[in-house]
Structure formats: C-alpha cells, structure tokens
Amino acid sequence: MKIMITGGAGFIGSSLIRNFLSSTDHSVVNLDKLTYAGNLDSLANVEQTGRYFFENVDICDAFRVEQALKTHTPDILIHLAAESHVDRSIEGPEEFIKTNIFGTFNLIEQSRKYHNSLTSAKKKAFRFHHISTDEVYGDLVGENDFFVEDSPYAPSSPYSASKASSDHLVRAWGRTYSLPVIITNCSNNYGPYQFPEKLIPHVILSALRGKRLPIYGNGLQVRDWLFVDDHAKALIKVVAEGAIGETYNIGGHNEKSNIEVVEMICELLEELAPDKPHGISNYRELIEFVKDRPGHDARYAIDASKIHRDLGRIPEETFETGLLKTI
C-alpha cells in the first residue's frame, strides 16, 4: 500500500515512518510543512529504502493538498500534522486554531473529494486515520478513574480544545459523508527525536548542561507515558485491522507524576553520565519548582482495554527500558 502521513517530520510521525518502512513493504509519502517542530534529520536513513517520498506542504493549503493526493494516490491517509505544545498554545493560540482545526478541515475535505474520485476497490480500502490525544477528555479526578473511548470531551487548554474540534470534524465527515474514518487518542509519548521543549528531552538536556530542571507547581501532575515506537506499532496495527468509524484509546498503563519522571531521569543520569557539569554533585539538586501552568490538568490515564481486546496490542517497552533508550 501507499500510506500518506501528515506531520511525518515530527516526533511521532517520524517514528511511524521508520516503523512502517522497517516492518512492512508499504511505501510512505510524508506531507509536512516543516515548522520549528519538523526535522528531516529524524528520517535520515529512510530514503535508502526507495519507498519514501517527501512533500513540503502546509495542510491549510487546499490546492497543494489536492495536488499531493492526485499525484500520490494514497491507499490510506494518517493525519498527525499539528501544533502540539500546550505552553505554546497558551502563549499564542492562533496557529493551533489554523493548523489543528482549519488544517484538519481542509485535509478531510480534500480527502472526501479524493475518496469520491476513486475506483470502487480502492474506495472501499481507503481510510482517513486521525491521530489525537487523551487531553481532549480533560483531567481525571478519582484515583481509579480512566479515560475510555466514550468519555465526555472536556478540553482545558487551547491545544486540547483545538484537537477536540478536529476530532469532532473527523467524526462528522464519517457520519455525514460516509468517509471511512478512524480516530485514535493516545496518552503522552516519549522517546528519541522529540523536540526538546517537551518535559523528558528538556530535562535530559538541561541536566547534562548543568541547567535548572523546572517543574510546574508541586510536580504531582500524573501522565500515562507511552514509548513512541509502541504508539507507532499500535497505529500500524490499527491501519491493518481497525474498524471504520471506531475510536481506539492507546496508552501505556504507566502512570507517573512529573516529579517521579524527573527523579528517574536524574537517577539514570547518575549511572550513564557520572561526569557531571562543574559545580554539580548530584543531578537532583538541579530540580526547581516553578509557577504552575494555567489550567494545568491534574491527571490523565487511559483505559486501553479496547485496543488490547480488539487488536491485541500491548506496549512492549517498560518505562525504565524506554527511558534508557531515550537518554
């Protein structure tokens, strides 16, 4: 098959492309605008496969999206392109509204026209797979509560509100136009090639440079961490076996508070990088609590039993092994 992936130069998209090319015979077309978060170096070796194509396209540009669909005639489209950093969405929400809402509208509308133009066999096989986040559900109160696929939407930040909007658009295009859509909502990813504004790479790089490790509020916000290649493998499974119109939650069953995560990184660095920057006797001494993020969600945790039951997908990496690979 030919898989078109938007946002393939980003953190999760590049993992998905590497995994597709190494574990299947499919070819991949990467549609990416190359914002600050896109980095083609994450895909340095994939061109050798002869099955990788790149198009520098903004998903908000209807003409370029239409052209790319006509030129490459994909069998499946997986949509990851987004503005993805909550702090940036608080400082400047406009790009999030443009790319995550208008860009998704544009992409799905062009995909609808493209789908209508296909022959019946290709039409039947086509899927529009939208990648979303557990942040659309807001935060959890009870310790034993988990997000399930039909948890009500209650986004807190401009980022999660824009992703919630995009989910609604995708579901509406499925219902109204019978476009074959699938949505997956995933928990926090971590792993190699993540842009260093996000918690884990930021902490690793700052610690190695002897810089302060800022933690929002009391550091007790809980996230369910999933190794990025486990997410990519789950998405490949969904492409092969997921059912049209379904939503699947993808999670790591790996809840950790932010302070726990930072302390684990510091501990691992003591072993992996014992030669510390000048004046530092212990990485933990770099930890510093700073003013909390406005609207900060307290806890996210995913109940991933549906994808485990229907598609048999269980994360392979533990947090310890995944964190070691990341560092």
Which of 156, 188, 247, 254: binder of ligand NAD (CB under 6 A)?
A: 188
155 with 185: CB under 8 angstroms? no
Shortest spacing between CB 63 and ligand NAD, in angstroms: 14
Residue of 52, 137, 159, 193 marked catalytic = 159
Q: Which residues of 32-63 are buried (b: 16+ CB within 10 A; e: fewer)?
A: bbebebbbbebbeebeeeebbbbbebbbbeee
131 binds ligand NAD (CB under 6 A): yes
Q: Which stretch binds ligand NAD (CB under 6 A): 144-152, 185-193, 251-259, 295-303?
A: 185-193
User: Could you tell me how many residues of this chain bind ligand NAD (CB under 6 A)?
Assistant: 30
Distance CA 293, CA 157 (A): 10
Contacts with 142 (C-beta within 8 Å, 6 or more apart), sequence order: none
29 binds ligand NAD (CB under 6 A): no
Distance CA 299, CA 283 (A): 26
Shortest spacing between CB 120 and ligand NAD, in angstroms: 30
169 binds ligand NAD (CB under 6 A): no
Structure token digits, residue 166: 């995009």
Residue 134 annotated to the active site: yes
322 binds ligand NAD (CB under 6 A): no
Which of 101, 183, 186, 200: binder of ligand NAD (CB under 6 A)?
A: 186
Residue where the block lists tokens 């026209």: 113
Which of 19, 133, 165, 249: binder of ligand NAD (CB under 6 A)?
A: 133
Distance CA 82, CA 158 (A): 13
Residue 316 annotated to the active site: no
77 burial level (CB within 10 Å; 0-12, 13-18, 19+): buried
Within 10 A of 76 (CB to CB), how many other CB atoms are there? 19
| Beta strands across the sheet bearing 222-227 | 188-190, 222-227, 255-257
Closest to ligand NAD by CB, 27 or 188: 188
194 with 228: CB under 8 angstroms? yes
Which of 3, 4, 5, 7: binder of ligand NAD (CB under 6 A)?
A: 7
Rg (CA), the chain: 20
Residue where the block lists tokens 């340095």: 44
Closest to ligand NAD by CB, 59 or 179: 59
Structure token digits, residue 313: 């997908």
Residue of 135, 139, 263, 317 marked catalytic = 135
Nearest residue to ligand NAD, scored by beta-carbon proximity? 10
Closest to ligand NAD by CB, 283 or 315: 315
Residue 159 annotated to the active site: yes
Closest to ligand NAD by CB, 128 or 283: 128
Structure token digits, residue 34: 């190359």
109 binds ligand NAD (CB under 6 A): no
Residue 136 phi/psi, 5° resolution?
A: -65, -20
162 binds ligand NAD (CB under 6 A): no
251 binds ligand NAD (CB under 6 A): no
90 binds ligand NAD (CB under 6 A): no
Which of 3, 5, 12, 68: binder of ligand NAD (CB under 6 A)?
A: 12
Residue 141 phi/psi, 5° resolution?
A: -100, -60
Residue where the block lists tokens 């660095």: 269
103 binds ligand NAD (CB under 6 A): yes
Catalytic annotation, residues? 134-135, 159
Binding site for ligand NAD (CB under 6 A): 6-7, 9-13, 32-35, 37-38, 58-60, 80-84, 99, 103, 131, 133, 163, 186, 188-189, 195
